[in-house]
Each structure stands twice: as C-alpha cells, then as structure tokens.
Amino acid sequence: MDMVVEDCVLLELKSVKTLLPIHEAQLLSYLKLSGIKVGLLLNFNVRLMKQGIRRMVFQHEG
C-alpha cells in the first residue's frame, strides 16, 4: 500500500496505461489485511484525473 489517510482511507497509486483486475485485487488484499474499509486506486497515467480513480469498499466480517 502506498498511503493511509487518517487511518480510514487506503491509497494505492499507479501510473499505468490501463488499470487491470490485478490492481483491484491488490487493493482488496491491502484492505483485508489492514482492516480499513475504503480504498482508492489512483492511476496518474490518464488525461483527466477523474478517469483514473476507482473506489473500493470492503465489508470486514465479524
């Protein structure tokens, strides 16, 4: 994981041509391991930043 904000949002930073399912799986793994619910996958290799943002929410069991 690249960054955690206020212990409640996990950021995974990329600069790739296309976000792949493996990138989402990586973020999901980080969310599971950290216990944090919300993660943002940010790809900086896009024309407009809003095109490079994926938000994921993981509901922890228990």
pLDDT at 7 (0 to 100)? 94
Examine residue 28 and state whether it is found in any structural domain, yes or no: yes
Structural domain for 24, as ranges = 3-57
Number of domains in the chain: 1
**51, 22 contact by CB (below 8 A):** no
| Domain contains 62 | no
With respect to residue 11, please indicate whether it lies within any of the assigned structural domains.
yes
What pLDDT shows up at residue 60? 73
Establish if 34 belongs to a structural domain. yes
Query: Whole-structure pTM over 0.85, yes or no?
Result: yes
Summarised one tens digit per residue, pLDDT across range 14-44 is 999 999 999 999 999 999 999 999 999 999 9
